[in-house]
Amino acid sequence: MRVLDTADVKDVEALAFSPDGRYLAAGAHGRGFVSHDLAGGSRVRVGPDGFRWALRIEFEPGGALAATTTDGRTRFDPATGSRLGVGPFDPDGPRPVPFFDSSAAGTRLATVQFWSPRSRLICWDAAGDGWERRWFVDDRPAYCPPAVSPGGDRVAFFAAETPDPGAATHLLVLDADSGEPVGAGSYPFAEIHGPRYQPGGRQIVVPHAGVLVVWDTRRLGKPVRVRNDSRHSFTAAAYHPSGRYLFTTSNDATVTVWDADNWVRVKRFDWDIGRLRSVAVSPDGLLAAAGSDRGRVVVWDVDV
């Protein structure tokens, strides 16, 4: 176990491991990002800013770091912090681009362009060194991150019936080839958070307050509710690459590992680095990391 300091990036709200597990990126809303070289021990400041109310960090299969900035989805070199480009962006849609997610192979991408009360969900296909727009929808307001299934065949997001405050919200799943709806799931809460696909694609999970909301993608409909046995609110969730386990952080110092089949607690870790805000598991499943409200990140060996 080791503890990393993110310097001036406090309240670590997003974490991501690079495909080879060498780099760990940590970021906070409005404060930017830090890339830690776990092999060499160095760190670099990545980007001068972070979008003030939304944050997404992910690594592309080739190793570039993609993150939300005020310019939109921006790519960086995790070793040097230098910018590699910004995009994609639909010039016909609203600005900015606070939300995005991509398939496991990085060949399909979904973005949300948003400026209240307008939003546009766009699906992109990788084309050479850039992206080609496949379809978009404007008629279903989307105000949170989309989730692209690991195989790139589905896009899930929360859609409100109308832009009005308090309007009913449901989980909507679209065919990523056509953009047509293929299923919907009920959602029992007003406040929404970004959905996340299980690596095998058979579950979608959302942490909400003290409950994990879990849909079986084969049926959708009414979700399963898994209550936090610590009685604290969940703050983040990340699947192990095997899909068998879900790692969650709570609004205290603990990380819980759940069996994603029966939702029994497998392990609990208590890290004395502050209240935890984010969690990530490396692509090979050998490392996990959690970020706190004190700007610290704990990294440990996974033994599940």
Looking at residue 58, its pLDDT comes to 95
| Residue 261 falls inside a structural domain | no
| Residue 303 falls inside a structural domain | no
What CATH number is associated with residue 139?
Answer: 2.130.10.10
Average pLDDT of the residues in 61-85: 92
The domain in which residue 278 lies consists of 1-84+239-256+267-297
Check if the beta carbon of residue 18 is closer than 8 Å to that of residue 37. Answer: no
140 and 211 fall within a common domain: yes
DSSP-assigned letters across all residues of 48-105: S---SS---EEE-TTS-EEEEETTEEEEE-TTT--EEEE----TTS-S---EEEE-TT
pLDDT digits (tens, 9 = 90+) for 143-167: 688 999 999 999 999 987 666 666 6
Looking at residue 194, its pLDDT comes to 87
The last residue of a domain, from among 207, 227, 247: 227
| 290 residue type, one letter | A
Average pLDDT of the residues in 43-57: 73
Neighbours of 205 (CB within 10 A): 24
Per-residue pLDDT for 227 more than 90? yes
66 and 7 fall within a common domain: yes
**How many structural domains comprise the chain?**
2
97 and 223 fall within a common domain: yes
Looking at residue 192, its pLDDT comes to 81
26 and 93 fall within a common domain: no
Question: Distance between CA atoms of 8 and 62, rounded to whole angstroms?
Answer: 28
219 and 99 fall within a common domain: yes
Copy the structure tokens of residue 148: 């692209």
For residues 231-247, b (16+ Cβ closer than 10 Å) or e, as one string?
A: ebebbbbbbbbebbbbb
pLDDT digits (tens, 9 = 90+) for 187-202: 988 788 889 999 999 9
Looking at residue 118, its pLDDT comes to 77
Helix (H, G, I), strand (E, B) or coil at 300: strand
